[in-house]
Every structure is written in C-alpha cells, then in structure tokens.
Amino acid sequence: MKRNIFYIVISSTLLLSSCSEFLDVQPEGDATINTYFTSDQQAVDAVDALYERFHQEAVYGRELFWEQGAACDVVWGKTRGYPTLATLKYTGDESPLRTVFDRMYTIMARSNYVIKQLLTKAGSKTLSDIERRSLGEAYFTRGWAHFLIAYRYGTDKQGVPFIRYEDYDNQNDYYSIPPQRESVIDNYQYIISDMDKAIEYLPRFEEYDVDDRGRAHDAAAVAFKAKVYAYWATWDATQWEKVIAMVNELEGTYGRDLADTYAQVFSSEFTDFWNKEYLWTIPGNGGSTGGGSEFPGVILENKAWGKYNGWGQNKPSYDIYAELLKDGEGNDRLIRILLEYGQEFRLLGETRKFWSTSDIESGFMINKYMDPFKHEDAANKGYINTNGDWPTARINFPIIRFAEMLLFRAEAYLMTNRADKATADLNRIRQRAKLAPLAATATMSDLYHERRCELAFEFTDHLFDLKRWHRSGNAEIKALAAAELNAHPRVRHYKDRQNPDSEYTVGAYEDYKDKATYKDHMIVFPYPSQQVVNSNGKLKQNEGYN
Amino acid sequence: MQLYVIINLKLKCMKRTNLRIYRTILPLVLGLLLSVGAVAQQMSVKGTVKDQTGEPIIGANVLVKGTTTGVVTDLDGKFEVPAAKNAVLLISYVGFQIQEVTVTGKPLVIVLKEDTELLDEVVVLGYGASARKQDLSASVGVVSNTDELAVRPVTSTEGMLQGQLPGVTIQADGGDPTSSPSIVIRGQGSAKDDVLWVVDGVPGAPIASVNDIESIVVLKDAASAAIYGAQSGAGGVVLVTTKKAKEGMPALTYDGTFGLRQATNLIDPLNAEQQIEMRKRSYANAGMTLPTGWDVSKNPWVGTTRTDWMDAIFRTAFYQRHNVALNVGTDNYSSRISFAYDNDEGVLINTFNKNLSLRYNGKIKLNKWVTISEDFVWKNTESRSKNTDNDGYTGPIISAIYMPASASIYNALDGSYGGTTTEDPAYIAQYGSNFADIHGDAVNPVRLLEAENRYNKTSDIWSTTSLEIANVIPGLKFTSRFTYNLNSNLYKNFNPIRDEVGKPALSNSLTETTYRADAWKTENTLTYDHTFGEHTVGALFSTTADRYSRRGLEVTGRDFADESEFLQYLAYAGTTQAIDYLAGPDANVSLIARLAYSYNDRYFATASWRRDYAGRLPKANNHGDFPAVTLGWKISNEKFFKKSNFISLLKLRASWGRIGNLSSIPFNYKSPLLEKTSWSEQAQYGVESGKVWGNFVYNSRALNPELTWETSEQYDLGVDMELFRNRLSLSLDYFDKRTYNLIQTREMEWPTTIGLDPLYVNQGEVRNRGFEAQFSWRDRINKDFSYFVTGNFSYLNNKVTDIGLKNADGTPGVWTNSKRFRGGSYIYQTAEGEPLNSYYLIKTDGIFQTDADAAAYVDKNGNRIQPNAVAGDLKFVDANGDGKITDADRQYMGNATPETTFALTLGFNYKKLSFSAMLQGVGGAQAAYIGKYMLLGDVEGNFNRSSEILNAWSPSNTGSDIPRLSKNDPNGNFSTASDWYLEDASYLRLKNITISYDLTDMLRKWSHLNERNSRMSVYFSGENLATFTGYSGMDPECGGWDAMKYPVSRVFSVGVKLTY
C-alpha cells in the first residue's frame, strides 16, 4: 500500500511539474496583433476591413442620409422613431447619429492599427508596393472617417476626439480615451496631414488595373482636402484660397473634368464608371454577390409596385422640385434627378408612368440612381441585388465628384470677390446639364441654386451646406440658408394617388411639423449621451446641448 | 433458488410506495453482503414482519447476513428461511429502516420502523466525498424524488427542478423546445452567472434522460461548492447522480410519457376589418392622409380576413418520452443499459427537439481491492427552432402579428407561400396595384418556420472509466478517473428564394457547418475515512486536469439555379465560400483537499481548499485559491437536550466558502488576436471583375492582462429540525453572498471613440442576501391513506454594493447597457445600491385626459414640460424638475429578479391512487413588455397590430392606459423609455397536477408476472394548468424582456411505468 501511495504522489508530482507546459495552450487560426503584415495578401485583407464599414447601411447605405430631413429637399416618406433629426430638436441619441458615430471611430481605430504596424515594418524593411498602397489607403480611410465626425461634431470652440497610434509606443495608450481636440481646426489639420500622407503612398487612379479600380487614389485624397478646406473656411475665410488651389490641382495635375453627360455619372454600365468626373465613389453592383450602397433600393417606391423590395424612404419635396424647375420645364437635370406624376420611366424592362401610393405622400421619387432598375431581369443580370434586404445596384455611387469640386471653387471665388471666375465654373456645370448659362455674373444665390440642384440627393451633405452658410459673412447666402433651414418641406397631394394624371394641390408634408427655429449651435450634433456618460467627463457635450 | 431469491430481492428493492424515497444504498449494502458466501449448520427460522401499527408487511426481504440466502414475506407477513443458529437476519422493506435480528431458534416477531426520516440519506458532495444528510454542515439542497418528478411532462432537468428547492430560482425564459430554463442559485451575482452541472462526478457531462436520474444535489452555499473552485461558475454547482448498475437477475423497466401541449394566452392580432379601422384612426389622429391601399374601394383585397396567423403558426404539439432500462448483475460484474427516446415538439409548427440516447453503466470487481467501472453516454440530438427574440424584426411570432389578416398562407395562383397581398395579375390589372407597399416588410411566418430545408444533428459521446483501489488499508481508497468526450454536429440549411410579395429575397443559399469537439478530463483522488472511538475523520486529496478543443468548418454556397431538394448540394452552387477554425485549445489543472471531522455525532467540521490553474489566462495571473469551512452542531444529541416526540433533531449549521467563475473568461484570453470576418459581397474595388471582400482582418480586441475570474464568497447560517415524530422536517437558512471582481465589458471610461471593443475588466461587487425556508409534513393516517405537504419559500435581496468606478466628480459611476428594441431607447442601467440590471426608466403619471390638462403641465416658470402633448398622451414625470423630459429624468425601477419565490406541493396516497398538486410562483419581479412598442403603437411600420390597440385612449374611451392611437408620436409615448413598458411579472402558477394509479395487482393475475414481481403504474399529469398574474403579455416568465418570445405551453400527459 505504501508503494501505491508512493506512485500516487509521484504521478501527481509529475502532473504538476509538467503543468506549466500543459497550460501553455496556443490558439490557431487567427493571427496575433504583432505577427501580422508578413505578406501582401495580409495587407489587402487588413485594408478590406477599413473600407467595409462605409458600405454598410449605417453609413452610406442609408443612415447618414436621414439627417437631410432637416433641410427642405427631402421628406422621409415614412414615419421614423427619431423625428428630432428632421425637426432640429437633436438629442444626439437618434439611432442614425449614434451608429454612424460609432462606425467612424471603429474605422479610425482599425486604420490606426494598420498605419502603426506598417510604419513599424517600414522602419526595418522596405515595404512592397502593395504595402505602401495599403499604408496610403489606411491614411485615407482614417482621414475620411475623421472628416465625417469632425465637421458634424466639431466647432471652432471644441474639436472632436482623435488619436493617432503612431504618436504612441505603448499599446495601453490605444485603450485610453482619445482627447477632444481644442478646435475643429486642429482636427482639420490632422485630416489634411492624413490626406497628404495618403497622396504620398497612393498611386494614381490610372495606375490601377481592373481588379483594383475603386481603391483610394491620390486624386481622391486631394478632393477630400478641397472639401476639408472649404468647410474649414467656415471658421477661417483664408482657407478659400486653398480650396481653389486643390481644385486647380485636380484639374491640372490629375486631369479631372466633368463627365460628358449628366447621365453618365449615374450610369449602370461599367464602361461609364470611371469617367472624367470620377473622384471618389462606393462602386456598387447587383446580382447574388452584389454590394456597395443599398441607397438605390432604399429610395425606390415601397415594394416597387410589387416588382422588387423597394423601401420607399427619402423622397423629394416639392421645394427641390420647384428649385429644379427654375431651369425650365422638363429640363434635363430635373428629369434625371426626380420622378414626378405622369413622368415615364423604365422599370425592369417595362415603361411605366410614375405614380406613388406609399405611406406619407410626397408625390415624387428620386430618379438619380434608377438606371440599374431599368433593365429587364435586372437581378439575374447582375444590375440589382437579388437580396431585397440588401438592395444594392450597379452604379458608381458618388461620394465626391468633380462637379462638387467646381462648385466649391465657384464658392471660393465668390467668397473672395472673383465672381467672374465663379460664373465660368457654374456655367460649365449648367452647360453639361444642358441648361442655359447664367444671364448675369454669378451671385451667391446662383451658387445656392446650382449646388442644391446639381448635387441633390447625393451624400454631399446639403444640410451642412445650409448650416455653414448660416454662419457665412455673406448676407445673401445666409438669408437663403436661414429660409430653407426654418421651412417645413412642401409636397404634392394627389386627388387620386394611383392616377399618373391626377390633379393635385401643394401642401405641407404631413409628418414632423413641429420644427424648431434654427440656431447656430445646431451646426453640429450633440454627442450621443451614452458616450458622454461613458467617457467619464472626458468627452464634453457640444455647446448649446447641455 | 438462490437466483430466484436474488431476483426477488432486486425487485423488492424496486418496489416502493409512491412519495417515499427510493434508496440507493440498500442494494449496494445487500450486494456486498451477498458476495461473501458462508456454509454453516442450517435450521429453519420462522417469523412475522409487521409495521408499527401491527399490520403485517407483505413482501419484506429477509436475508441471512453474510449469505445469499433470502426470502420474501407472504400475505400475512410471515416467512421461513434456512439459517444457522446465531446467524443474523437482515429484514428490509422500502420505506422502513433495515433491522438486524439474531436467530435464537424461537419464532421471531419483527416490527419494522418507518423510515420517514429523510435525513438518513447519504448525500454526495463531489470528488467522492459524501455525508449523511443529517450530518451536513453546509447548505445543500437535495431532490431525491426524481422518479416522481420524471413522470411529469418535463423536458429538461431544469424544468423538473423548478420549485423544488428554496433559493434555486428556475425561470422558463420562454418555451422553445431547444432551450432549457435558466437556473440561478441564491441570486444573480454577475451578468453571466453560470451554474456547473456535474453528472456522476463529471463536470459538463450530459443527462441521457430525466428518467435516468437517481437524485440531484444542489450545492447552494459557497462552502459546499468551493470544492469545484473556479469551475463552479459564480452561480454554484448542481450534482446529478444517475441510476447505476445493480446486482440481480435481468430486469427490464419501461417508462413512457405521452403528452399534448398547447400555447395559451396568445396575442390576438387585428383582423382585416379592424386593421383598416385602426389605420384610418391612426392616420386621421396624426393629421395625415391615409395611403390609398387602405381604401377598400380601391383595394378590396385588404378588406377580407383570410388567415388567423396565430392559428397558422401554433399547433397542438405532441410530446413523448420513452426510456427502457435493462439491468443485470452478479456480485463481480453488473451492468445497466438504458435507451431513451424523446420527441419534444414545440407549439410553433416545425419546431422540435428529438433525442435518442444510449447509456451504459457497468462495474467489474477484479478482486477484493480493485474495481473498474465504466459510464458511457451517447446522445444523438436533432433539433429545429426559430429565434423568436430577435428584437422585433422577423421573429415568427411577431411576424404573425405584423402580417395582415387579409393575406393568405399560400398563394392561390401557384401554391407557393403567400405574401402580404395578392399576386393575381387580373387583380393588378383591375385595381392598378396590389398595394404591397401598405404592409411594410412583413414576412409570411409560416414560411419562416417551414421553408428552409434543414438538417441539424449532434452526436455527443462521453465515456468515463474509473479505477478504484480500496480495502488495502481500511478506509483508504484511491480512485482514478478518465473521461473522454467527443461532440460533433452537422448542420445543413438550404434557404430558398423568397419570391412572395412583401419582402422578397431573390437569392438562395446553402449553409453547411460541422464541428468536432474533443475533450478529456482526468481526476485522481485519494480518500480516507475512519472512525476512532468517538472521532470520525474523512480526508480527501485530488488532482484534476482537463483539455478541450473544437475544430470546425463552415461552408456557404449561393446561387443555386435549381432548387430541387435532390440538388441542394454544394456542387450545384454558383459560388461557394468556406472557412475553418479551431476553438480553444483550453487546459485547466487543479489541486483539491478536504478534511471532515466529527465528534460523538454532535460536532461536525469540514475544511476544504482548492487551487485552480487556468490555461486561458497569462501565466503570471493564472491561478486562484478557493477555501471553505463549515461547522455543525447537533444540539439534539447533547446530554442537556431532552428529546421528545415534539422534537427529535435540532442542528445548527454555519459555513463560509469562496468559488470562482472561470466560464466568464473566453478561451485563450491571454493571446492578443486579430479578428476576422468573411463576406462574399462586392468589395470596394474590382467591381468589373466581380471582386468580393473575402476575408478581412482587423484589430478590435482590447486585452487586459490582469484579468481574473469572478469570485464569490458566501456565509450561510442554518438550522435543521425534525419535529412531531419526524413527521415535520424544517430547514431554515440565511445567506450572504458577495460576488466581486465581476467580469464586465468596460462601459464606463470606454466610449466608442476608442474604436475597439470594450475591454474586459474585473469590476464591482454584487451582494445577494436572503432567507430560505423549507418544510415537509408527511403523515400516514392508516394503512391506506397517507398524505404530505411540502413547501419552500425564499426571499432575496440583490444589490450592487460596489460599482467599481467613479464619475469625474468622484461620485460612483454606473454600468450602462445598450440593449434596445427596434428603434427604441435603452432600458437598463445599474447603479450602486440598486439591483443588478435595473430598469432605468422615466416614470409616467397616467394619460392626459384633455388638451388643457396637457397644457397645464408646466414647470416653475410656467413653460410647458411636454410641449407636444395633447389629450391621450402619456404624462412623464419631470424627476429632476428642469422643465424638460430628458434622460436625466430616468429613475431606477427594480429588476427582473424575483424578490420572493415559493412553491407548495400537496399530495396523498389512498390505496393504489396517489395524487399531487404543485403550486409555484414568484413575487416582486418586474418585466419590460417591450413588444408593446410594436403591438400597441402604430408609429413604426404599417404592420398589423394587436387587437388591444383598439382600446387605446380616445375621448370616448378615457379609462384606457394605452396612449392615443396615432401614426406619429410627437410626444414620444412609445419611443420614450418609460415605465409604461414595465409591468409586475409576479405570478402564482398551478404548475402541475399528477394522478397515478398502481395497476400491479391486475398485472400479477398473470402468474408469470406475479413470479417476477412485475409492477405497473399509470399516470395522468397536467403542467402549467393555470397562472394568476397581473402581467398583460403572453407569459410573465419571460426573463424580464418580453419581445414576443416563444411562449411557455400547457401540457397534458399520460404515462406508464412498467417493471418486468
């Protein structure tokens, strides 16, 4: 028996001594954070994770657009649980604001990791071409995400939270709460510096082959810089010169220009995707592996007259219709931008006359992204997504296009008293849209009209245009902005909603009628209250929202 | 003859009157005695066996001690057995105490004493330790009437345990056949309060069938659970002992239960006419134009009720459970094989959980020192269900409400599933449209439950081999055990094209996943038990080690040109994508020691210590110690204590212990890993060549190298009493449990601006204090009639005593929780001094009855507090008095954990009939009936609603507590997280009634069965018969978050128990 005990003791001792090895289990199937970036494919996979958030419903799919309800171009077409976005009674907790906010910081953190790791690798090895490009893409996405937060949450009195991993050596620093920068101008400087780094590492668009077109390229970074300077000019008018310089560079160095036709920009043919006007897009596609932005399906008539899972959201108001109509009955741009009753259009191979019965009436539908839907059997041919819960379509969905650049340059000229040059830029846009040139030298009113109409229903943020104009030193544009910000959108009410030729009256949109008076602090949104709480005092709420 | 005796013995052992406790030790004791043969001078001994009332006992076992010779008493209680003079006879009968009588040569009269004293039971305590129940100094709950509970139509062990023990709170959390109720022991200590299930000593092993359970022991206090250390789960430990192989001739038993289940108290959606009426009012009240499709003259389709969708998705479901057990054994080798099959159909169509299991238990005695035993379980499961709790979008129950009653289940044109409206081209030609737009993206719930073609089978195999060396030194025993587990699953799901109007999806897909999990555990234990005079010592030392890993493969195929069932294979997919993975490996090691000491059956003390090492934590930080002590004092055995008929046992208990919760830390937590996701969707680039994202890899994990397990410490004070000649037993306990180092995702100081998933931190302390009482009264009036009443009650106070973080101003912070329903607001937040997961809501103060009332609700400056409110809107309480209704007005309003839980069971036996009824309930529980957001409000989506919405407040219906019906909600009646959603979820339920009848006599008219002492009983049982509650949803037992979860159902069943 003693021997037995002896064996037991021996065996348990053995068990214990080998225990530390036994416990040293190692996972497989996932890389650790410090052993990544050993091959080009790894860099490509890491960069995919930077782009993918932007494609989601929570950003360019739909959510980023709801805030436009506070301007007068768009009505929601349906009741939503956050009417405060349309009535300017912001809480910061409206789900579209919250989710976009979270996603942008996720992208910044992911980009930060890629930048930090690749810079570290570059310290000891030469990066491959793909790794250099990846580094550029990470700077680009960090700047892009940072920008969407900066102008929507930052003011001259209080910037937005931002950290750069390359400023730190200790991983624990990445776990600290990013400091809220002193002024949004500081944030803009960081964004410009990220875009400059992006330009340094990214290739020209023309250098990409067919498999890589759609990736960040240097002209896209320049375009973002132009937009950053334009917004920066809200707080510091000297930035307008830089806007002009950036747009000149796009035109000169990068050979960007307006596409031949307005329709080409929104075409559902791959051959039109990379036209002269292309700067930055989310390329979309349909079929069973489609992707991109779901916005084309979101704005399609609810259930698409029984043909497809359109979501019936975000419809044109009578106000934008009236603005477009100023360029003449049935003008090219008007027809291309929206559908009105009786207007003919093609849907899945059939010609229809437009009418709409869904939810809350507007009498119009956005037509800009309808090209992919015209094809017969569009889903199976790959023009629209076979999954109605993810209704993407084959379109090079614009984020920034050259027309917006021209409009910014025109604005810069107007703000720096060079109205003649602004006239030329505006007329280029009008002529491309087959509209008569301006009758006289351009004014800020002309710029307002042109920017509002040309970019209608794009993610160029018309609402923010109004908000920044409301702070403008130019009384003319300030008055126009104030008028639109304080108006409730109008719509058409049809006697027989199913009849394309029905009579109608123009009246107020029937939902969210209790709009607040616009005040300048509303240029930014309040931070999500939960984030203010969770930051434990380190994230200060924006002025006017306490 | 000898064999015959053994059979008789075995069968007599099984014979038992209902509601008496089936005893495990008896056959073992007998078996040991039988194994030693003896030859001596024989004589014939005669005798009579009677009970205390003088009635003869029929069928009592009489065994000559040390031999295999035995007989059974006849109808007069008489027996005659050959035995040597001075031999000792062992007389036993189930329900009575065993008696030893020395043969004198004269006829013997033996009076057996009733064994109503449940405290004589031996209770297993883990790792081979055990104690007589009356000697326990820790707080342990014992359920030994499992055979009686198993005749109920219960589908899980948890369900069977509900209401059986005070302090063990079991909540159904819905009635999905593929999920089990939740179990919480003595209050929730953390967000993830896992309970460790140990089956026959093996943590995590499955229970083949509820019919295989012999007894269940719940280690309620930390002192008893501490022997499982960090494996305990902060919740505690449940030990399950299954039926084992016994000696005896082949014996076959069959248990069968057949039941019908039905959902009750379902929500009644509006019919077609009512929906139109509701929608008209809703649009009109909002000042909006009604969409054309609601006009019956323009869209007559919408005006006719075609389907009762609740009726379409619910059914009367069939439930069956069968268990066949075969036992055979000699003194050196015994084995038991049982087969179980159960098919638990859910009340939602096409949901089920089927189990086919095989269990083997065998024991081989190699020699007088070495015994080898083997436990083998193979459980083969097939299941299918549908998530009903997915936040209000496409759960089948919520879809059955959303779907208009004018829609039909099947499309009349082609027999496919119907959409929200007609697809008839003639209709569209006539009316211009089928108006699918007015119904939103409601989906056909029948299709949701039926259309996918699914194969989902899991095979779970557990083998445990034990080697036991004993009797070398008296009292010393060495046990070595090795368990191997192989778990594998194949899941295949074909999701066809959904072409119905409403929410079409035009692509199909096939998902196949499979995994294989390998795990082994080993345990080496040395125990020593000895009595020296008045001192009894029990010592235990054990080491354990375990390892786990799981490998899996997931493949998705898309774009099947042909949906025929025989072509739903990956080879026919347009595109396929696959990933594989390794989960784990995980490894753990532990050292365990325990010492028990008692003196003179008066003083009892135990101490235990365990050290755990966890492979998932960094080396510097991978171990923890879990000590425990208990003390017991049997006052009734003191000389100064006068025992009487009134009180026969009085014992005081005190214990303290510490346990940990390892399961709250994921495998390989120590490794800083990148995350990956895979999508087969068009990427940002390469659109012309069809580039898809494929894998993408990102850094989102934040790692806390200091992380350690949740720990819980508990004091327990208890008293046990036996009163009125053991008819009444009473147990009272007070406990104070402190759970600290709670593992949480860091919310505070982790705003989303960090951009990484929140860090796991050890933070905060939760205290659960409570009181438990349990009583049992059992009495036998006469030979034919006995009855019992048992009951338990527990009171629990749960609160967070340390939130673990401070606000910038130094005040305690809060734990936030972002769980929300559709577009609604968050509803949970926890603060110091409040219960865990408190509801944090704005209080309401009724409904404004007039516009003037609403306008008169002003702050101190005369400004309106709710400027958009009109008559029929909710009045929110401006708690902070700032004149606005904001999040700052939220208040803590309790939580979902019941303050009190109680159960009462009464029953009687009259001759062959026995009856029992069980009442079970909870008090002081809250539930957020969050589904009302979509059922009683018409704001989000143009879906169908509950018929209750027609009772909404209106000038002619001012008594209603449902805010006015309106298409928009400027006052935020529905979007505000208010206590309008909060309801009292207390209830009292008539949980079960069981009637059984013993048909043995009938059976024994056949002489062959009579010789074998065959037995048969039949049962009738009803479960969830009636519920008394003020809760307005389907069922108050919803876990505090009611988003139209799979409801608990009522079951009626019949059963039979047959022993051949």
User: Each residue of B999-1057: pLDDT tens digit?
Assistant: 988 888 888 887 777 889 999 999 999 999 999 999 998 889 998 888 889 999 999 99
- Tokens describing residue B943: 């879906």
Residues of A in contact with B582 (CB under 8 A): 27-29
> Whole-angstrom Cα distance, residue B914 to residue B995?
6
Contact A109 B755 (CB under 8 A): yes
Residues of A in contact with B547 (CB under 8 A): 22, 25
Contact A213 B428 (CB under 8 A): no
* Model confidence pLDDT, tens digit, residues A364-421: 999 999 999 999 999 999 999 998 889 999 999 999 999 999 999 999 999 999 999 9
* Model confidence pLDDT, tens digit, residues B461-510: 999 999 999 989 989 999 999 999 999 999 999 999 988 887 778 889 99
Higher pLDDT, A348 or A11: A348
**Cβ-based contacts under 8 A for chains A and B:** 346
* Residues A503-525, mean pLDDT to the nearest whole number: 95
Contact B702 A213 (CB under 8 A): no
- Tokens describing residue B210: 């509820």
Contact B288 A360 (CB under 8 A): yes
CB B875 within 8 A of CB B847: yes
> Whole-angstrom Cα distance, residue B394 to residue B1043?
11
CB B698 within 8 A of CB A113: yes
Distance from CA of A208 to the nearest CA of B (A): 10
CB A436 within 8 A of CB A328: yes
Which residues in B66-98 are b (16+ Cβ under 10 Å) and which e?
Answer: bbbbbbbbeeebebebebbeebebbbbbbbbeb
Distance from CA of A497 to the nearest CA of B (A): 7
Nearest CA in chain B to A17: B589
**Residue B5 has what pLDDT?**
36
CB B751 within 8 A of CB A149: no
Residues of A in contact with B970 (CB under 8 A): 83, 512, 514
SS3 A15: helix
With helix as H, strand as E and coil as C, how does A389-436 read? CCCCECCEEEEEEHHHHHHHHHHHHHHCCCHHHHHHHHHHHHHHCCCC
Residues of A in contact with B585 (CB under 8 A): 25-27
- Tokens describing residue A174: 């990445």
**Residue B38 has what pLDDT?**
38
SS3 A156: coil
* Residues A2-12, mean pLDDT to the nearest whole number: 54
* Long-range Cβ contact pairs of A14-20 (< 8 A, separation 24 or more): A15/B524, A15/B543, A15/B545, A15/B589, A16/B543, A16/B589, A16/B591, A19/B545, A19/B589, A19/B613, A20/B619
Sorted by sequence, the CB contacts under 8 Å of residue B607 that are 6+ apart come out as B594, B595, B627, B628, B629, B630
Nearest CA in chain B to A13: B543
Contact B807 A536 (CB under 8 A): yes
| Window A:192-211, CB contacts with B under 8 Å | 208, 210-211
Identify which of B354, B334, B358 has the alpha carbon closest to the alpha carbon of residue B345: B354
Residues of B in contact with A301 (CB under 8 A): 437
User: CB contact, 8 Å: A257 with chain B?
Assistant: no
Residues of A in contact with B506 (CB under 8 A): 379, 386-388
Contact A308 B807 (CB under 8 A): no
Contact A81 B432 (CB under 8 A): no
Residues of B in contact with A283 (CB under 8 A): 682, 684-685, 687
Residues of chain B with pLDDT under 70: 1-41, 53, 66, 68, 94-95, 114-120, 191-193, 234, 390-391
Distance from CA of A165 to the nearest CA of B (A): 11
**Which helix or strand (DSSP H or E) is residue B913 part of?**
strand B913-923
Q: How many CB atoms lie within 10 A of CB B413?
A: 12
Q: How many CB atoms lie within 10 A of CB B644?
A: 11
Residues of A in contact with B825 (CB under 8 A): 93
Nearest to A81 among B680, B887, B975 (CB): B975
User: CB contact, 8 Å: A175 with chain B?
Assistant: yes
SS3 B619: helix
CB A471 within 8 A of CB A482: no
> Whole-angstrom Cα distance, residue B499 to residue B411?
11
Identify which of B811, B712, B825, B719 has the alpha carbon closest to the alpha carbon of residue B773: B719
**Residue B32 has what pLDDT?**
37
CA atoms within 13 A on the CB side of A333: 26
> Whole-angstrom Cα distance, residue B548 to residue A131?
38
Contact B591 A312 (CB under 8 A): no
> Whole-angstrom Cα distance, residue B138 to residue B222?
9
Model confidence band, residue A538 (pLDDT cutoffs 50, 70, 90): very high
Identify which of B974, B969, B965, B985 has the alpha carbon closest to the alpha carbon of residue B1029: B985
Peptide bond into B585 cis (omega under 30): yes
Identify which of A154, A149, A61, A155 has the alpha carbon closest to the alpha carbon of residue A97: A149
> Whole-angstrom Cα distance, residue A173 to residue A89?
36
> Whole-angstrom Cα distance, residue B480 to residue B525?
6
Identify which of B735, B729, B705 has the alpha carbon closest to the alpha carbon of residue B650: B729
Residues pairing with B542 in the sheet: B525, B592
Contact B673 A108 (CB under 8 A): no
Q: How many CB atoms lie within 10 A of CB A128?
A: 13
Nearest to A110 among B581, B699, B867 (CB): B699
pTM of the predicted model, to two decimals? Answer: 0.85
Residues of B in contact with A50 (CB under 8 A): 698
Distance from CA of B752 to the nearest CA of A (A): 6
Nearest to A22 among B558, B587, B969 (CB): B587
Residues of B in contact with A396 (CB under 8 A): 687
**Residue A111 has what pLDDT?**
98
With helix as H, strand as E and coil as C, how does B292-349 read? HHHCCCCCHHHHCCCCCHHHHHECCEEEEEEEEEEEEECCCEEEEEEEEEEEEECCEC
Nearest to A211 among B679, B691, B749 (CB): B691
- Tokens describing residue B225: 């659970």
> Whole-angstrom Cα distance, residue A488 to residue A225?
33
Contact B435 A357 (CB under 8 A): yes
Contact A48 B680 (CB under 8 A): no
Q: How many CB atoms lie within 10 A of CB B255?
A: 25
- Tokens describing residue B956: 């002619």
**Residue B867 has what pLDDT?**
92
User: CB contact, 8 Å: A33 with chain B?
Assistant: yes
**Residue B486 has what pLDDT?**
97
Identify which of A56, A70, A224 has the alpha carbon closest to the alpha carbon of residue A137: A224
> Whole-angstrom Cα distance, residue B424 to residue B258?
45
Identify which of B1058, B854, B1053 has the alpha carbon closest to the alpha carbon of residue B151: B1053
> Whole-angstrom Cα distance, residue A295 to residue B234?
47
**Residue B738 has what pLDDT?**
94
Contact A213 B438 (CB under 8 A): no
Residues of B in contact with A513 (CB under 8 A): 287
* Model confidence pLDDT, tens digit, residues A178-226: 999 999 999 999 999 999 999 999 999 999 999 999 999 999 999 999 9
| Cα Rg, chain A, nearest whole Å | 26
**Which helix or strand (DSSP H or E) is residue A19 part of?**
helix A19-23
Contact A510 B289 (CB under 8 A): yes
Contact B825 A93 (CB under 8 A): yes
**Residue B35 has what pLDDT?**
38
User: CB contact, 8 Å: A106 with chain B?
Assistant: yes
Residues of B in contact with A538 (CB under 8 A): 751, 808
Contact B939 A81 (CB under 8 A): yes
Disruptive mutation site among B503, B698, B760 for chain A (greatest number of A CBs within 10 Å): B698
| Window A:362-391, CB contacts with B under 8 Å | 379, 386-389
Nearest to A291 among B559, B622, B683 (CB): B683
Identify which of B696, B756, B683 has the alpha carbon closest to the alpha carbon of residue A55: B683
Model confidence band, residue A3 (pLDDT cutoffs 50, 70, 90): low
Q: What is the largest CA-CA distance in chain A?
A: 112
Nearest to B292 among A46, A283, A498 (CB): A498
Residues pairing with B454 in the sheet: B493
> Whole-angstrom Cα distance, residue B71 to residue B89?
11
